[in-house]
Amino acid sequence: MDNEAIKVYPARWLVLAVFGIMGSLTQVLWLTFAPITGPAAAFYGKSDFMIGLLSMVFMIVYIILAIPAAWAIDTWGFKAAAGLGAVLSAVFALLRGLFATNYTIVLLSQIGIAAGQPLVIGAITKVAVRWFPVRERATASGLGTLALYVGPLAAMLLSPYLFVRSGMKGMLLMYGLAMAVTTVLFLAVAREHPPTPAGSDERVLMFDGLKSMLRRRDFLLLLAIFFLGLGLFNSVSTWVEDIVRPRGFSISQAGTLGALMLAGGIAGAIVIPLFSDKARRRKPFVVLALVGLLPGLIGMTFATAAWPLFLSGFVFGFFLLSAGPIAFQYGAEITHPAPEGTSNSLLILMGQVSGIIFIVAMDAMKDKATGSMTTPLLVLAGLVVLAVGLALALHESPVHGDRPAHAGSGTEKG
């Protein structure tokens, strides 16, 4: 239960802000090439799949490093772990810019940046728990997750523009310098703890928590939902230009679609967690998000004019990405006292695994003659329906005292 007597500090918003800026730029680096797949393929003399690989390596690396990153976050604290991740990202982002014409070095640099990413994005709920009282934690997680949507939004808008105006080298150097400056800012400003605790933060050791959470029925369902939902986002984001190109849309329109998809996500990540905190419920809002994204996904699959395509992208992003912060917080609540970094990292891990599968499958299932991705998009819509069914089977979070703490967990002692 939230303790109204707990002292909170205005500095919590500064800590969250600098973390958010850093998190945003890790996402810019991830999706740099997504809205310019065709031009990048021509620049490097590679296939669309090889350009998609520049994004997909982030998911592959995340699978390998998710558990070590979670251990680092929960053992060292979010500042040390996320700071290390930021330094890795900055160094390799600069290297990527300096050798921008060499595909092999760019690919290796993407791997180096990807090694830093899980140390940053896995710390979202750790920041919320360390600095914010219970009544604000879904909102804080929402704002932290929102920052991870701002980054892809920036990539979708900026990459086509910067590529045309400054070329590949100029674009990549600008991104590298921005990451370097932000890393210095984070290390200078961020603090691990407020002067006094923001609320209960009792957690068990990581591996004990890992064993415990994998025995919880609701958390296993949540993992499956993330497998489908985050995999959907990762694959659609990676292939956004390929999705619309066969219908005659330009790279600028593909970038606009990606940007509106993420702008919708930003709006959803602000609005929906506020309602979740106010209602003191998590499950209904996860269900709402999954149901609400379906019209947007269908619209993006069939729209042949710009305005319905853009509207569909906004609706898709608004509902899909609003589920992220609520689901992250729900996962931390139902697995307490397991460490937040562990639950966060496992959930993202599922999305990275599915992202790889969905990206490869979408490329394999597209029409080889026209490049149309209608069939794989309809398959993804069917998987969303499955995710809705899984979400309906969840129990509500126990944090607000609405049910016994171990109800529905499957194996815990009552």
pLDDT tens digit sequence for 300-328: 999 989 999 999 999 999 998 888 778 87
What's the total number of domains in the chain? 1
Which domain CATH number covers 128?
Answer: 1.20.1250.20
Higher-confidence residue: 383 or 258? Answer: 383
For residue 32, the SS3 value is coil
In a domain, 411, yes or no: no
The answer to whether residue 371 sits within a structural domain is: yes
The answer to whether position 413 is within a domain reads no
Is 98 a member of any domain?
yes
For residue 272, the model assigns a pLDDT of 83
pLDDT band per the 50, 70, 90 thresholds, residue 85: very high
Domain that holds residue 320: 11-392
Residue showing tokens 């509902």: 319
pLDDT of 103 higher than 90 = yes
Residue 166 has pLDDT above 70, yes or no: yes
| Whole-structure pTM value | 0.69
Confidence check: pLDDT of 104 > 60: yes
Short-list 128, 131, 132, CA closest to 193:
131
More confident residue, 343 or 296: 296
Average pLDDT over residues 373-393: 93
The region of weakest confidence among 135-144, 162-171, 341-350, 402-411 is 402-411
- HEC profile for the chain? CCCCCCCCCCHHHHHHHHHHHHHHHHHHHHCCCHHHHHHHHHHHCCCHHHHHHHHHHHHHHHHHHHHHHHHHHHHHCHHHHHHHHHHHHHHHHHHHHHCCCCHHHHHHHHHHHHHHHHHHHCCHHHHHHHHCCHHHHHHHHHHHHHHHHHHHHHHHHHHHHHHHHHHHHHHHHHHHHHHHHHHHHHHHHCCCCCCCCCCCCCCCCHHHHHHHHCCEHHHHHHHHHHHHHHHHHHHHHHCHHHHHHHHCCCHHHHHHHHHHHHHHHHHHHHHHHHHHHHHCCCHHHHHHHHHHHHHHHHHHHHCCCHHHHHHHHHHHHHHHHHHHHHHHHHHHHHCCCCCHHHHHHHHHHHHHHHHHHHHHHHHHHCCCCCCCCHHHHHHHHHHHHHHHHHHHCCCCCCCCCCCCCCCCCECCCC
Q: Does 107 fall in a domain?
A: yes
Instruction: Say whether pLDDT at 73 is over 80.
Output: yes
Listed as own residue / partner, the contacts of 166-174 with beta carbons closer than 8 Å and 24 or more positions apart are 168/40, 168/43, 168/100, 168/101, 169/97, 169/100, 169/101, 171/32, 171/100, 172/32, 172/93, 172/96, 172/97, 172/100, 172/106, 173/94, 173/97, 173/98, 173/100, 174/97
Q: Of 93-102, 188-197, 334-343, 363-372, where does mean pLDDT reach its minimum?
A: 334-343
Q: Is residue 399 in some structural domain?
A: no
Q: Is residue 187 part of a domain?
A: yes
As a residue count, the chain comes to 414
Asked whether the predicted pLDDT for residue 365 surpasses 70, the reply is yes
